[in-house]
Structure 1
Amino acid sequence: MYRLSAQNVATGELDLESFVEERFSFQEEDIAYEDLYESLLQVHLNPLDLQEATAEQLRSLYILSPFQLASFLDYRNTFGPLISVYELQAIPGWTLETIENILPFIRQDVYSGNQKMPGFKRFQAAENAYLIFRNRRVWQTRKGFTPADTLSNGQLSSRYLGGPDDLYVRFRLQQPGDFSIGLTAEKDAGEQFIWDKKTKRYGFDFLSFHFMLFDKGPWKTLALGDYQLQFGQGLVFGSGFSVGKGAETIATVRRSSLGLRPYTSVLESGFFRGAAATYKTGNLELTGLFSLAPRSANLQVIPDSLEASESYLSSLISSGLHRTKNEIEKKGQAREQNFGLNLQYRNSDKGIQLGTNFLHSRYSQEVFPLKRIYNQFEFRGKSNYTGSIYFSYNFANHYFFAESAISKSRGMGHVFGIMSSLNRSLDLSLVWRKFDRNFHSFYGNAFSEGSRPINEEGLYLGLNFKPNRKINWSAYYDYFTFPWLRFRMYAPSSGNEWLSRFTYRPHKKLMSFIQWREETKSRNLVSEEQSSNHYQLATGKRRNFVWSLSYQPNQWWQFKTRVQQSSFQINGQKTRGFAILQDLSANLGNWKFSGRLSLFDTDDFENRQFLYERNVLWAFSIPNLYGQGYRYYLLGQYKLNQRITFWLRWAKTTYTNRESIGTGLQEIAGNEITETTFQVRYQFNR
């Protein structure tokens, strides 16, 4: 048993940066961190009731091992409702670290009685009611904001039409277990703040709204506006918090059936817009959705001999950027209509979950991507449907899960896995997946090596060994094949990846880890290296090493030192890179400060260093640095009173081996880039 004294017990406040970095410490560019943050935030603002939380809900936090989860359920079934969070220390297998990680996402007390108030008064008394405004700006002038040049044909070159400020506004009224109302608005740097119906811009470039009701009689959820769905293993409905391979080698390999949830991110794709509802009767739940949403796209017009014309979509665009005249013309060019169903059976007593998914998508024009040698089996047409069946079964400390799906093209996708606690100290995970080259799932987000579940087969093995509360070793090995061609990989190929991380935490104040990662994957040789008229592949090997030390001598100060090193070898050539960073954080009552100084030196882009940084509340920063130079930032937070909190962040990168930064309209003439972020939050019912 680990004793938690009153002065040492965690407050339940969410330190999002620490939580994400410690559990998913290796960053990649193809992870949707915005979605990851929003998913964690939704659980934090709508915490799970410890007295009623299901196994599926607790698994979705990616914190508990199968043994820890089984221990909690057995304890609750044996002793009844928990009297206090201090009782968590009595659960077998729950360490101090486990309790600290889970506290921000749970609550032991029942929800307030606001549900008995009339509707408008309930909105006024919402527990989570706040307004956030954020401004971010890069102070050096990018090429896109300079005066336009005159081209040889007499036309002016392309430039950004708006100002250099990023603007963000979020309004939220939420009563856990009752309702959620939210409005999110964003304008990226370079976009105009303009009201123009013709180009579908209404002040902010992107607007998102949702209104959701929870647990209204047999209706588990009712939704209007923007929303997401997550069922099964993500082959059909895979929105939300899904990370995949990382330092957490057990809990992140599976997806959770979290169902219908509000969409609050500013990513301008990957969500539904319309109406949806979940109806519950006994152990059965039925969810239906209808969505009609605009999508940015490249629209191609084909004139015919009768002076009429037809059009098609050569590509759908998910960047969400509408800064130039050309980008604005692509905004909302397509309409995407979706109709979907989910039927799910859940028997918590027997640990069984069964379900089926169906999603039909239809576009306003035919989709015909420009033909390339590697994309012959990509989706083409006007409509698609994807259906699946899935199950999960919990037996003691072993958890089995699977999903199989088929799309209109008759391409199939399969995921099968197991998470198991072999004993109190050793956990294991195993995942096999297979996605056909013509499997099409527009909202899929299954466990995979690629960013989409298509053209891949693989087997993953994860281990976690914790002999005592001070030592933890985690590792995984993943072997994967790509049966068909891919971008920059013009032949069938295979690869593998492994990671090993050793963590030592002698006490609460000190934590250190060493992590090794190696990835072997093929790619095309560049043109001058080709020795025949056929594309040839070369095997590239990427290695990464990280050493980190965190020390918190008291509740006011924290220090962190990290060293990162990488190498990349292909076709007989090897390049290297490294980064060193030092962090300092202070918590001084109403004031909080943090800062970092980092040095980096890399031979090329392949060795870019990802450095996870603290940012203003619910924003993220993961710069990837290459070349030579140094970067530092300062972040301050001041709580004026119970309702108003301010944040200010200043960051600067200086390169010592270049005279310009970026390319195209993003280019900066010079070797420095400075950015500031200001944020203010007003909380209503405090």
Structure 2
Amino acid sequence: MKKISFILLIFIPSFLRAQEQDPQKMAIIEQRIELIAEALGNENPDFTTLIDELSFYYDHPINLNRTSREELQEIMLLSEVQITALLLHIEKNGKLISIYELQAIPGFDLQTIRNILPFVRVSDMFDAPHIDLHTLLKDGTQEWFVRASQVLEEQQGFTPISDSALAASPNSRYQGTPYRLYTRYRYRFGNSISFGITGDKDAGENFFSGAQKQGFDFYSAHLFVKNIGNVKAAVVGDYQVSFGQGLTFATGLALGKNAYTLNVKRNSQTLRPYTATGENQFMRGAAITYKIKQTEITALYSRDHLDGNRILNSDTTVSGDDEYISSLQTSGLHTTPAEIEDRNAVLVQHMGGHFAWKTKRSNIGFTGIYSTLNPGLQKTTSITNQFDFNGDHNLVTGIDYNYIKNNFNFFGEMSRSLNGGWAMQHGLLASLDPKFSVSVVYRNYQKNYQSLFANALAEASKPVNEKGLYIGLELRPNPNWTINAYFDTFESEWLRSGATGPQRGMEYLAQLQWKPSKTMDMYIRARHRSKPYDDPNDPEEINVLLDKEQNNYRYQFNCKINDQISVRNRIEMMNVGFFERDKQRGYLIYQDLIWKPEKLPITFTGRYAIFDTDSYDARIYAYENDVLYFFSIPSYYYRGTRFYGIIRYQYKKRFDVWLRYGQWLYNNQNTIGSGLSEIQGNRKSEIRIQLRLRF
């Protein structure tokens, strides 16, 4: 009871009025999230910040007559080519008279207009509010979330064990409880002020016991203000930062290669509050962006403890310090004594900033970030990681640029780390015709370039040891048809894990979409990837590299049958394997149903899927709907079925309840998972409940 009382007292309800909520709001936002999620190959992406932005702009649509490039970039629904075309149209022809005038702008077909329509408007009014205490209390919005979830089948880490056996093998069981718990409070006044607190506990972690006497394993908080006088943005607490193309220093979400072939330029707000639950990809401290005419100066400081494998130094030839970190841990899990011991093992500090000079059509920026680690990082050297960062400090500097000339947008960034390693990226977006646009990105990242927080376009997970050329195109022959395609070639001069030799690979994608009406669309997509890997059957110590090829083929059909029922169907097939060898194959078929009864305050979303793959290598990823602010793109592999159902109930537009139940059923497996998460049997079920109060 004390735990429940603590949760209820964390955030005291306020007297601010509730905001009206369109029942179709989340359906529209989820559609946009799904479009973006398809671009990511991550099973657990976090779109919290993006949902916050889309939700805000749904309630407060962007006034296209008084908007900026940065504001349009925040909704991530327009390419840079389209944003440029819109701003040039307004500059040449004056303010928009009607939203329907968008049809006259090159690159704005009916599909694009439908996508952005819920988030934009046309008005001559100036919308800057007068901020005083009365206005803050009257017009601010507040939300409080509580969410709990649990796998219903018993996992190995939660099975009974004797005290003597546990003492002999303390890491053989989880320390905490099997449920996951999350809570979040956020106050927001327009786009000017944000304050929030988040708490999160993973399954297997303690809660008010053991190693976590303070309740949640992870806490996050922020206070963020925007556009107050010359202060463009300022934040205290947890925040995300992004400069240039993310090559020198950037945190947060960035799209890589995807079916939206023109969205290769990184466009994100320099500073934004952090509202997600990931425990690594954010800054903790303070930052400010100050604007004077055409100049913007950003200064930041961050001080945070990260998880790491701490080693006591018994060999002075390895490091001169008493202890060092052999690796940084990024899972955010603290479920066993070993994981708890690694918690907050290293103090990481960042200080520096960014100087930018901006005009309507160009900008140039300079970035400098100095980072320290205490204790320092000293990885066990191997042939593949000998150029990775080791030490207790680093300095990364960079220069970024952006230039627009008519329908051409040139952009790029060049960076250098303290050890002399460098990296560069140069790109072009061009609208060659109202129906045809292209994107080109050249990248060259040296093998010894080192940045603790870099997030730029790359084939690998980090922009290092890679050279490549990306070419994308988008063709809209008529309002109902869209063709997207890209080709990417890449090479690495040094060895990578799984490939003990220089490598050269390629990837291409083609997609044809047909949307005959606003209630129906379908597309077909093909993707091919070829990358060299060590021959797993070569007995020699020096492996022979073979091209491992992967092919994915997808057909998707979406239809809104009426105002109450919508359906989605997908068929996807794939094969993967080494050239001229037997390939592993798989397929996935699913049917989605979305039902919104006209006279009931509920919404139902469900899926039934069947899948069959020869192995884990032939896995297929698919986005799944879930409760608000929870995200998953799980992999379907082996043979079985999958279903889930979500019911959302809304009471008087102030109170929402989500209930989700999902289950995996495997036909050819006797166990699921491995290690402490292993389940005996062929069934895995999970239940999740979430509550939201709006004030």
Same fold (TM over 0.5): yes
Q: Which residue of 2 aligns with 1:117?
A: 132
Cα deviation, residue 679, structure 1: 0.9
Q: Indicate how the Cα distance of structure 1 residues 128 and 452 shifts in structure 2: closer, same or farther if over 3 A, else same.
A: farther
Alignment of 1:52 with 2:66, yes or no, is yes
Aligned residue type for 1:625 = Y
Query: Which position in structure 2 is the counterpart of 1:239?
Result: 251
Structure 1 unpaired stretches of 5+: 1-8
Aligned to 1:564: 572
Q: Match of 2:248, as an amino acid?
A: V
Secondary structure of 1:125's partner?
helix
Match of residue 607 from structure 1: 618
Report deviation, 1:43.
4.8
Paired residues of 2:248 and 2:453 also in contact (CA < 8 A) = yes
1:383 aligns with 2:396: no
Change (3 A) 1:17 1:10: closer
Counterpart Cα distance in 2 of 1:11 and 1:352: 39
The reply to whether residue 665 of structure 1 matches residue 676 of structure 2 is: yes
User: What's the secondary structure of 1:190's corresponding residue?
Assistant: coil
* Equivalent position of 1:166 in the other structure: 180
Give the secondary structure class of the aligned counterpart of 2:172. Answer: coil
- How far the C-alpha of 1:166 sits from its partner, in A, is 1.0
Per-residue deviation, 1:96: 2.9
Distance 2:91 2:213 in 1: 54
Q: Structure 1 residues 425, 79: CA separation in 2 closer, same or farther (over 3 Å shift)?
A: closer
CA 1:228–1:70: 2 relative to 1, 3 Å: closer
Residue pair 2:147, 2:691 contacting (<8 A) in 1 also:
yes
Q: 1:530 matched to which residue of 2?
A: 538
Determine if the alignment matches structure 1 residue 135 to structure 2 residue 148: yes
Instruction: Please state if 1:481 is matched with 2:491.
Output: yes
Q: What is the SS of the residue equivalent to 1:33?
A: coil
Which residue of structure 2 aligns with residue 225 of structure 1? 237
Give the Cα separation in 2 of the matches to 1:626 and 1:646.
32
2:330 alignment partner in structure 1: 318
1:80 to partner: Cα distance: 4.3
Amino acid corresponding to residue 404 of structure 2 in structure 1: N
Contact between 1:456 and 1:481, CA under 8 Å: does it hold in 2? yes
Larger mean Cα displacement after TM superposition, 9-18 or 36-45: 9-18
Instruction: Decide which of 588, 594, 597 is 1:588's aligned counterpart.
Output: 597
Residues 496-507 of structure 1 aligned to structure 2 (within 5 Å) = 496-507=506-517
Query: Contact conserved, 1:60 with 1:255, CA < 8 A, in 2?
Result: no
For 1:479, the aligned partner's letter is T
Q: Which amino acid aligns with 2:583?
A: K
Encode CA deviations 1:89-122: one digit per residue, 9 max, x unaligned: 554542332122223444556687764322xx44
Judging changes above 3 Å, is the alpha-carbon distance between structure 1 residues 463 and 483 closer, same or farther for their aligned structure 2 residues?
same
Structure 2: segments with no counterpart, 5+ residues: 1-21
1:467 aligned partner = 477
Maintained 8 Å contact 2:206/2:212: no
- Quote the Cα distance in structure 1 between the aligned partners of 2:680 and 2:475: 50
AA partner of residue 28 (structure 1): G
Deviation (angstroms), 1:337: 0.7
1:336 to 321, 340, 348: 348
Q: Report the residue type matching 2:237 in the other structure.
A: G
**Which among 353, 370, 378 is matched to residue 360 of structure 1?**
370
The answer to whether the 8 Å contact 1:179/1:214 transfers is: yes
TM normalised by structure 2 equals 0.91
Preserved CA contact (<8 Å) 1:10 1:103: no
Residues 473 and 500 in structure 1, CA contact (< 8 A), matched pair in contact too:
yes
Task: Report deviation, 1:594.
Answer: 1.1
Q: Partner amino acid for 1:138? A: V
**Shift in Å at residue 63 of structure 1?**
2.9
- Cα displacement (A) at 1:534: 1.4
Q: How does 1:358-437 map to 2 (within 5 A)?
A: 358-437=368-447
CA contact (8 A) 2:170 2:337 kept: no
Alignment match, 2:5: none
Partner residue in 2 for 1:207:
219
For the structure 1 residues 200 and 104, does the alpha-carbon distance in structure 2 shift closer, same or farther, using more than 3 Å as the test? Answer: farther
Per-residue deviation at 1:124? 2.8
RMSD, matched Cα: 2.4
For 1:84 and 1:168, locate their aligned partners in 2 and report how far apart those are by CA, in whole Å: 43
Partner AA of 1:400 in structure 2: F
Aligned pairs for 1:510-659 within 5 A: 510-526=520-536, 529-570=537-578, 572-589=581-598, 590-659=601-670
Cα distance in 2 for residues equivalent to 1:413 and 1:144 = 44
* Identity among equivalent pairs (%): 33
Q: CA deviation at 1:61?
A: 3.8
Return closer, same or farther for 1:310/1:126 CA change in 2, 3 Å cut-off. farther
Indicate if the aligned counterparts of 1:522 and 1:538 stay in contact, CA closer than 8 A: yes
- In 1, the alpha carbon distance for the partners of 2:381 and 2:567 equals 53
Residues 443 and 122 of structure 1: is their aligned pair in 2 closer, same or farther, counting only changes over 3 Å? Answer: farther
Count residues in correspondence. 663
SS of the residue corresponding to residue 241 of structure 1 reads coil
Amino acid at match of 2:586: G
Partner of 2:18: none
- TM-score, normalising length: structure 1: 0.92
SS at match of 1:102: helix
What is the rounded CA distance, in whole Å, between the counterparts of 1:162 and 1:678 in structure 2? 20
Q: Is the 8 A contact 2:251 2:453 kept in 1?
A: yes
Q: Aligned residue for 1:17?
A: 30
Counterpart secondary structure, 1:296: strand
In structure 1, what is the equivalent of residue 7 of structure 2? none
State yes or no: 1:148 paired with 2:161: yes
